[in-house]
Amino acid sequence: MKKNIIVGVCGSIAIYKSCEVIRGLIKNKWVVKVIMTKNAQRFISPLVFEVLSKNIVYLDMFEKKTFEEDHIALSDFADIILICPATANIIGKVASGICDDLLTTTIFSFSGPVIFAPAMNENMWKNKILQENVEKLKKYGYYFIGPEEGELASGKKGIGRLADIQKIIDFVERIYKKDK
């Protein structure tokens, strides 16, 4: 049985870890398609994700990859959507119902499980508005894995570090089995 996943990649220094998440998912027999936000493209080349996933990377809502609307075709393809790394921006946009790019429109047209793997500065993670958005999304059935405590990009220690790669992969597998 094929397992299909969309990995939404946002602009965070933790983006390099999403490469290992994708490799782990593929080892677990997932077919991976990647959607990159504009900010993600400032951190890493789409070519990296094309090579790892062996699929076209989706970048822009108006850059057609199929004859269908890409967000509809992608949402029909997926069993799960994983946003890794998930920024405060993407969490806030989804919690507020904002659909202004390919990733958010795909999330809103998708009826299956959506998992956020946040990665950000500790102060951003602890921000009351962000925490309200996280709780709101959890109430609507969205899933969160992490963040964890540890050394952050700033060199400080605190909460905000992307969850361990294997924990993310295991979480995706658990949600998939639960959903099926």
pLDDT band at residue 73 using 50, 70 and 90 as cut-offs: confident
Q: Is residue 115 within 8 Å of 145, Cβ to Cβ?
A: yes
Residue 75: predicted pLDDT: 86
Look at residues 107, 115, 119 and name the one whose alpha carbon lies nearest to residue 30.
Answer: 115
Q: Is residue 103 within 8 Å of 82, Cβ to Cβ?
A: no
Residue 64: predicted pLDDT: 57
Lowest mean pLDDT among 47-56, 147-156, 159-168: 147-156
% the chain with pLDDT above 70: 95
| Domain chopping of the chain, boundaries | 3-15+28-89+100-179
Residue 16: predicted pLDDT: 95
Q: What pLDDT digit, counting tens, does each position of 50-64 carry?
A: 999 999 999 987 665
What are the Cα distances from residue 96, in Å, to 37, 90, 144, 145, 152? Answer: 18, 10, 17, 20, 27
Give the whole-angstrom CA distance, residue 148 versus residue 33. Answer: 26
Longest dimension (CA), the chain: 47
In sequence order, the β-bridge partners of residue 36 are 9
Q: What pLDDT digit, counting tens, does each position of 94-115 carry?
A: 999 999 999 999 999 999 999 9
Give the whole-angstrom CA distance, residue 101 versus residue 91. Answer: 14
The two structure tokens encoding residue 124: 């951003």
Q: Is residue 116 within 8 Å of 103, Cβ to Cβ?
A: no
pLDDT band at residue 178 using 50, 70 and 90 as cut-offs: confident
Give the 3-state DSSP-derived string for 136-173, with helices as H, strands as E and coil as C.
HHHHCCCEECCCEEEECCCCCEEEEECCCHHHHHHHHH
What CATH architecture is 3-15+28-89+100-179? 3-Layer(aba) Sandwich (3.40)
pLDDT for 69 beyond 70? no
Residue 5: predicted pLDDT: 97
Placement of tokens 């299956």 in the chain: 112
Q: What pLDDT digit, counting tens, does each position of 126-154 carry?
A: 999 999 999 999 999 999 999 999 888 88
pLDDT for 38 beyond 80? yes
